[in-house]
């Protein structure tokens, strides 16, 4: 069992090194941005302060210098470009500058890979001096070095007196994001946990084979830690050598290929922490076993009653756990593979989203009253950008939830089928006039819906209704008027508001599609057929435009980046603190497909490792079984008993274990896809059993039977 423990230790540390490299860039970026940082929100400063923008920035910069803190503002221009405006361009010494960039902060920006070492090809970083933050406006969210409470109070008093409405939040954003980073790699965490469990079980079996040695060490006065060192030091030394080798090889690779290893300490911490976790786990398990040997069992331990039977069943338990986990992951992986294939097939329909960008919104404060002026500005931006072709399509009612239920079903769970068809919370979407230019809709008379068909009045809501729903006009008017009243007078409480409101119902031909520009829509071509469609004309409460700007407002820009295209309107409406980027939805979906492909590759590797571990565990199970019965088997073999008769009980037990676990997994998943794998596993195990027994029963190694179960086996 020592060999299995050694293999497990090596695999565990290699897995730690590999996963640490996978997470390295995200963890480093999280460390640069949020480690020991608090959040500072400047809200209405640019309106109520009596100073110019440059003076506001200079005051904030001088205040940071006075209190010896760094202040930074982060701006994601898109998914691949991060701009950092900071008073400390070294990011408190965290940036590893190249020789050519030493002292370059005076000339302006620092660029990743050009001026400092950065290894993530998917993200480019630009670190700008704080004086350039004026181009984003002084309003927004900043991150500042954590301050002790007494100093923080004085700092805030000075800042508020000069810049107005300021909020200071002590947040654990660094730790929250760290958890998110780890959860994104949950598959590898599962593999790590399972491998750790198997390692501990293997080490336990190793200890069970060391009972005589431990008992003798106790007899000669060795205490617990000394006993641990005598029995397990080879594992401790091996792990230490492997950690040093990994750290040396990875560091050398980065030094040669990148000119430096910017995450040396973080990677070292990950490796050493993983190594210490293993050693401490071994130590705890050893002491649990050692306490049994220290009192009352001395004679039995010295007689070498070393619990081989217990070790065998422990091995069987670990094998069963691994097999069940592998089968569940296999079923999930096959399901994900089918979904990925469907996503790839749907990509042809997604081509029409090329050069279409979705607006991104940054929430500045969670206080509704404080945020209200920002909502008003965002509505102004939306209306100002309409001539630029900005369009709206909100199809969130058609999103499928985790339980495979559509949102429109959940919204109308207590209602009837009629409510689902005629309710704004049912099979309904919201669009605007610009959307109709990209996705024309025919009226019942065969003419296109145009601006002339819409009524641009504050008290009128325009709704496109499929002809098939014409017979339900009364129900439509009732429910949509209620929703219009709610969305128009969200923060106004008055009687008889609904009396002045009306609907302009425009009946359209049946079987017409609305392309959603939403990759989350569970339709083959991302198109919804025959919804009721509200055509917004800018007459609702600003809160709804704020909501739409987070995920449902798009702009078509074939000649330049979408954000640069709408930047004049952003600047004109003073919404730069809220709207700081756009996302290419075509590229975003491509990135999602690539991410899923990478996850499937990782899953394939994890399944292969688990499969190999199961086969190795099967090998250990057979050796344990033979060790328990070694003398009886040797005598029977010498008297000519065939191979199958010697092992039929063991083979049947292994077959039964596989069948039982396979049946449990099938009952849970209802998937027969596991059957070919189970057959392959059975054949592989029988091959292993045959090879092992053949080796043990060869003429030159028959004495190996008597050695099975030894302390170095």
Query: Does residue 466 sit in helix, strand or coil?
Result: strand
Report the candidate in 139, 131, 134, 137 with the shortest Cα–Cα distance to residue 165.
Answer: 139
Among 243-247, 539-543, 693-697, the minimum mean pLDDT is found in: 693-697
Highest-confidence segment of 183-197, 217-231, 259-273, 484-498: 259-273
440 CB-near residues (< 8 Å, 6+ apart): 448, 449
Q: Scan for tokens 């205040």, then name that residue.
A: 63
Could you give the CA distance from residue 561 to residue 559 in angstroms, rounded to a whole number?
Answer: 7
Q: Which own/partner pairs from 681-687 qualify as long-range (CB within 8 Å, at least 24 positions apart)?
A: 681/323, 681/611, 681/614, 681/615, 682/655, 682/658, 684/615, 685/615, 685/618, 685/654, 686/651
Average pLDDT value over all residues in the chain = 83
Please tell me the predicted confidence (pLDDT) of residue 45: 45
Phi (first) and psi of residue 237, to 5 degrees: -65, -45
What's the pLDDT band for 469 if we cut at 50, 70, 90?
Answer: very high
> Is residue 436 scored above 90 in pLDDT?
yes
> Is residue 303 scored above 60 in pLDDT?
no
Do residues 461 and 503 make contact, with C-beta atoms less than 8 angstroms apart? yes
Percentage of residues of the chain with pLDDT beyond 90: 28
Please tell me the predicted confidence (pLDDT) of residue 12: 86
Helix (H) or strand (E) holding 167: strand 166-169
For residues 405-432, one letter each, b for 16 or more C-beta atoms within 10 angstroms of the residue's C-beta and e for the rest, the string is ebbbeebbeeeeeebbbbbbbbbbbbbb
Please tell me the predicted confidence (pLDDT) of residue 48: 46
Please tell me the predicted confidence (pLDDT) of residue 696: 61
Q: At what angle do helices 674-696 and 308-346 cross, to 10 degrees?
A: 140
Helix (H) or strand (E) holding 376: helix 368-385
Q: Whole-prediction pTM value?
A: 0.77
Please tell me the predicted confidence (pLDDT) of residue 550: 93
> Is residue 697 scored above 70 in pLDDT?
no
pLDDT, one tens digit per residue, over 373-396 is 899 999 999 999 999 999 999 999
Across residues 540-548, what is the average pLDDT? 95
Across residues 686-710, what is the average pLDDT? 61
pLDDT, one tens digit per residue, over 248-290 is 999 998 888 877 888 888 899 999 999 999 899 888 888 877 6
Alpha helices per DSSP H over 529-642? 542-551, 562-572, 585-628, 630-638
Please tell me the predicted confidence (pLDDT) of residue 708: 52
Query: Does residue 93 sit in helix, strand or coil?
Result: coil
Do residues 231 and 210 make contact, with C-beta atoms less than 8 angstroms apart? yes
Percentage of residues of the chain with pLDDT beyond 70: 87
> Is residue 197 scored above 90 in pLDDT?
no
Across residues 442-453, what is the average pLDDT? 94
302 vs 464: which has the higher pLDDT: 464
Across residues 356-370, what is the average pLDDT? 86
> Is residue 1 scored above 60 in pLDDT?
no
- The angle formed by the CA atoms of residues 563, 569 and 571, to the nearest 5 degrees, is 90
Please tell me the predicted confidence (pLDDT) of residue 46: 45
> Is residue 166 scored above 60 in pLDDT?
yes
Please tell me the predicted confidence (pLDDT) of residue 302: 47
For residues 352-364, one letter each, b for 16 or more C-beta atoms within 10 angstroms of the residue's C-beta and e for the rest, the string is ebeebbbbbbbeb
626 CB-near residues (< 8 Å, 6+ apart): 633, 693, 696, 705, 708
Please tell me the predicted confidence (pLDDT) of residue 304: 47
What's the pLDDT band for 84 if we cut at 50, 70, 90?
Answer: very high
pLDDT, one tens digit per residue, over 50-60 is 457 788 888 88
Could you give the CA distance from residue 98 to residue 100 in angstroms, rounded to a whole number?
Answer: 5
pLDDT, one tens digit per residue, over 625-667 is 777 776 677 676 666 666 666 677 777 888 888 888 888 888 8
For residues 65-80, one letter each, b for 16 or more C-beta atoms within 10 angstroms of the residue's C-beta and e for the rest, the string is eebebbbbbbbebbee
Do residues 666 and 327 make contact, with C-beta atoms less than 8 angstroms apart? no
Q: Both tokens of residue 279?
A: 């050693």
Across residues 437-461, what is the average pLDDT? 94
Across residues 153-181, what is the average pLDDT? 84
> Is residue 39 scored above 80 in pLDDT?
yes
What's the pLDDT band for 713 if we cut at 50, 70, 90?
Answer: low
Q: Which own/partner pairs from 52-58 qualify as long-range (CB within 8 Å, at least 24 positions apart)?
A: 53/134, 53/137, 53/138, 54/134, 56/138, 56/162, 56/163, 57/130, 57/131, 57/133, 57/134, 57/138
Q: Scan for tokens 């949950």, then name that residue.
A: 186
Q: Which residues are 2's β-sheet partners? A: none
Q: Scan for tokens 């075509």, then name that residue.
A: 586
510 vs 187: which has the higher pLDDT: 510
Q: Scan for tokens 């190999």, then name that residue.
A: 612
């Amino acid at each position: 069992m020592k060999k299995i423990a050694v293999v497990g230790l090596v695999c565990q540390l290699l897995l730690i090194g590999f996963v640490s490299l996978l997470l390295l860039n995200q963890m480093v970026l999280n460390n640069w941005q949020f480690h020991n940082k608090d959040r500072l929100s400047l809200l209405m400063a640019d309106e109520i302060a009596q100073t110019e923008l440059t003076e506001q920035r200079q005051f904030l910069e001088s205040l940071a210098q006075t209190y010896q803190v760094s202040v930074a503002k982060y701006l994601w221009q898109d998914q691949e470009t991060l701009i950092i405006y900071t008073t400390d361009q070294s990011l408190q010494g965290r940036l590893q500058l190249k020789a050519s960039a030493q002292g370059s902060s005076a000339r302006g920006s620092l660029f990743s890979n050009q001026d400092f070492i950065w290894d993530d090809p998917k993200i480019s970083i630009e670190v700008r001096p704080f004086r350039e933050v004026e181009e984003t406006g002084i309003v927004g969210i900043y991150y500042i070095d954590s301050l002790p409470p007494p100093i923080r109070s004085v700092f805030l008093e000075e800042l508020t007196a000069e810049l107005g409405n300021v909020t200071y939040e002590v947040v654990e954003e660094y730790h929250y994001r760290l958890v998110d980073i780890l959860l994104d790699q949950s598959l590898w965490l599962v593999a790590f946990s399972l491998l750790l469990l198997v390692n501990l079980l293997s080490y336990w079996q190793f200890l069970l084979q060391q009972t005589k040695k431990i008992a003798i060490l106790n007899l000669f006065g060795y205490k617990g830690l000394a006993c641990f060192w005598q029995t397990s030091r080879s594992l401790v030394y091996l792990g230490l050598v492997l950690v040093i080798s990994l750290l040396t090889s990875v560091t050398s690779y980065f030094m040669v290929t990148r000119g430096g290893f910017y995450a040396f300490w973080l990677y070292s911490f990950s490796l050493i922490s993983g190594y210490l976790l293993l050693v401490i786990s071994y130590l705890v398990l050893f002491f649990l076993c050692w306490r049994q040997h220290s009192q009352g069992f001395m004679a039995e331990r010295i007689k070498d009653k070393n619990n081989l039977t217990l070790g065998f069943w422990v091995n069987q338990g670990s094998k069963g756990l691994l097999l069940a986990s592998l089968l569940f992951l296999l079923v999930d992986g096959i399901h994900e593979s089918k979904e990925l294939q469907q996503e790839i097939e749907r990509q042809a329909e997604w081509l029409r989203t090329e050069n279409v960008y979705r607006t991104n919104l940054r929430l500045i404060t969670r206080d509704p009253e404080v945020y209200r002026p920002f909502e008003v500005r965002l509505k102004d931006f939306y209306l100002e950008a309409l001539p630029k072709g900005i369009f709206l399509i909100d199809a969130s009612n058609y999103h499928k939830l985790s339980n495979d239920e559509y949102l429109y079903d959940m919204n109308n769970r207590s209602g009837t089928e009629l409510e689902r068809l005629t309710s704004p919370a049912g099979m309904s979407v919201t669009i605007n006039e610009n959307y109709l230019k990209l996705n024309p809709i025919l009226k019942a008379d065969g003419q296109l819906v145009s601006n002339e068909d819409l009524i641009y009045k504050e008290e009128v809501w325009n709704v496109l209704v499929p002809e098939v729903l014409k017979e339900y006009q009364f129900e439509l008017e009732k429910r949509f008027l209620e929703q219009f009243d709610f969305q128009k007078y969200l923060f106004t409480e008055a009687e008889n508001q609904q009396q002045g409101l009306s609907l302009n119902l425009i009946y359209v031909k049946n079987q017409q599609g609305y392309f959603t520009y939403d990759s989350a829509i569970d339709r083959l071509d991302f198109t919804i057929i025959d919804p009721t469609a509200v055509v917004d004309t800018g007459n609702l409460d600003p809160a709804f435009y704020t909501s739409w700007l987070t995920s449902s407002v798009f702009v078509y820009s074939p000649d330049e980046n979408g954000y640069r295209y709408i930047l004049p309107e952003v600047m004109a409406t003073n919404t730069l603190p809220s709207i700081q980027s756009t996302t290419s939805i075509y590229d975003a979906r491509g990135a999602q497909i690539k991410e899923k492909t990478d996850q499937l590759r990782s899953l394939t590797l994890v399944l292969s490792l688990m499969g190999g571990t199961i086969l190795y565990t099967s090998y250990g199970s057979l050796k344990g079984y033979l060790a328990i019965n070694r003398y009886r088997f040797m005598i029977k073999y010498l008297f000519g008993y065939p191979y199958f008769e010697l092992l039929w009980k063991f083979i049947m037990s292994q077959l039964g274990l596989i069948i039982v676990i396979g049946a449990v997994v099938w009952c849970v998943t209802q998937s027969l896809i596991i059957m070919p794998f189970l057959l392959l596993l059975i054949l592989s195990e029988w091959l292993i059993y045959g090879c092992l027994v053949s080796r043990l029963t060869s003429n030159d190694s028959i004495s190996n039977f008597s050695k099975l179960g030894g302390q170095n086996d």
